[in-house]
């Protein structure tokens, strides 16, 4: 069964450093998403991406965050200057459209120290 | 907010019993989805029910949707130890993004 692949599985970074989280969505999916889950809390929407541009973003997705689909297969989330409160599990997801279920990756656990 | 809210927050049952959890949401939806998350792992899509559907089955899972009450339920029949996980409902409105609830943690005792 097709999978969404995320790398790395765990990233530890110092406060203020830039991180790039990588995702390979399912190849024939058109919609891509990033979500995050702070330990013990809800899964929160960050951003959706369609047709090579951001279609929607949440309040969490401020100027420190950016997304790219640099080569038609990878989908990246960059955090420019990490803060302690960015520590969370970050999930990438893709889907064929809103009428279908989303396929989530297994996540990247980001720890900012 | 579109977010679904699950009830109960936690559920502990004996293997073989049924587990039922509920989800309520606030405004009109396109569809509602249920996901499972094993501890520290990713989210696994279980089932999707569209706003014009009332009930759906998938294996040991049964989902109902009552749009007049803005609520859904997930029933897991004949539970197994491997069903131990957190279960989340998530709604999709016309903005096409998933909005998750806080989840129900299910523990199945052997």
Query: What would the pLDDT profile of B25-57 be if each residue is shown by its tens digit?
Result: 998 999 999 999 998 788 999 999 999 999 999
Which band of pLDDT confidence, cut at 50, 70 and 90, is reported for residue A42?
confident
State whether A35 and B101 contact (CB < 8 Å).
no
HEC string of A1-26 equals CCCCEEECCEEEECCCCCEEEEEECC
Angle, vertex CA B83, rays to CA B8 and CA B58, nearest 5: 90
Q: What is the pLDDT of residues B57-73, one digit of tens each?
A: 999 999 999 999 999 99
Q: What pLDDT score does B1 carry?
A: 44
State whether B42 and A31 contact (CB < 8 Å).
no
Instruction: Name the DSSP class of A85.
Output: G
Given a cut of 80, whether residue B17 has pLDDT beyond it is: yes
- The edge-to-edge listing of strands for the beta sheet with A75-79 is A5-7, A19-24, A75-79, A65-68
Q: What pLDDT score does A26 carry?
A: 93
Q: What is the mean pLDDT of residues B74-98?
A: 92
Q: What pLDDT score does B95 carry?
A: 73
Residue pair A69/A27 in contact by the 8 Å Cβ criterion: no
Tell me the C-alpha distance between A22 and A9, whole Å.
10
Q: What is the pLDDT of residues A87-111, one digit of tens each?
A: 999 999 999 887 788 999 999 999 9
Q: Which residue has the higher pLDDT, B67 or B3?
A: B67
Tell me the C-alpha distance between A7 and A106, whole Å.
9
Cβ contacts below 8 Å, chain A against chain B, sum to 60
Given a cut of 50, whether residue A8 has pLDDT beyond it is: yes
Tell me the C-alpha distance between A77 and A68, whole Å.
7
Alpha-helical (H) ranges within chain B are none
Q: What pLDDT score does B3 carry?
A: 66
Given a cut of 60, whether residue B13 has pLDDT beyond it is: yes
- Residues of chain A with C-beta less than 8 angstroms from the C-beta of B39: none
Given a cut of 60, whether residue B2 has pLDDT beyond it is: no
Q: What is the mean pLDDT of residues A21-41?
A: 93
Strand B10-14 versus strand B31-37 pairing type: unpaired
By C-alpha distance, which of A47, A7, A45, A39 is closest to A112?
Answer: A39
**Best residue in B9, B32, B43, B85 for a mutation probing chain A (most A CBs within 10 Å):** B43
Q: How much of chain A exceeds pLDDT 90, in percent?
A: 80
Mean pLDDT of chain B: 92
- Residues of chain B with C-beta less than 8 angstroms from the C-beta of A42: 3, 100-103
- Alpha carbon separation from A10 to A7, A20, A58, A91, B42 (Å, rounded): 8, 12, 24, 12, 13
Residue pair A36/A89 in contact by the 8 Å Cβ criterion: yes
Given a cut of 60, whether residue A70 has pLDDT beyond it is: yes
**Best residue in A29, A43, A110 for a mutation probing chain B (most B CBs within 10 Å):** A43
């Amino acid at each position: 069964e097709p999978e969404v692949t995320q790398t790395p599985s765990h990233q530890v970074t110092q406060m203020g450093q830039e991180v790039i989280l990588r995702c390979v969505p399912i190849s024939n999916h058109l919609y891509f998403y990033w979500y995050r889950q702070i330990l013990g809390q809800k899964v929160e929407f960050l951003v959706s991406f369609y047709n090579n541009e951001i279609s929607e973003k949440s309040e969490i997705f401020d100027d420190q965050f950016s997304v790219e689909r640099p080569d038609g297969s990878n989908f990246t989330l960059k955090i420019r200057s990490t803060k302690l409160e960015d520590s969370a599990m970050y999930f990438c997801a893709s889907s064929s459209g809103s009428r279908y279920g989303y396929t989530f990756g297994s996540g990247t656990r980001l720890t900012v120290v | 907010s579109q977010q679904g809210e699950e009830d109960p927050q936690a559920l502990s049952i004996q293997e073989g019993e049924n587990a039922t959890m509920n989800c309520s949401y606030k405004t009109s939806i396109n569809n509602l989805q249920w996901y499972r998350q094993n501890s520290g792992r990713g989210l696994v899509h279980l089932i999707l029910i569209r706003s014009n559907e009332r009930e759906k089955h998938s294996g040991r899972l049964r989902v109902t949707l009552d749009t007049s009450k803005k609520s859904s339920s997930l029933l897991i029949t004949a539970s197994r130890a491997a069903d131990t996980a957190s279960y989340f409902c998530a709604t999709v409105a016309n903005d096409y993004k998933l909005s998750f609830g806080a989840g129900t943690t299910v523990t199945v005792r052997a």
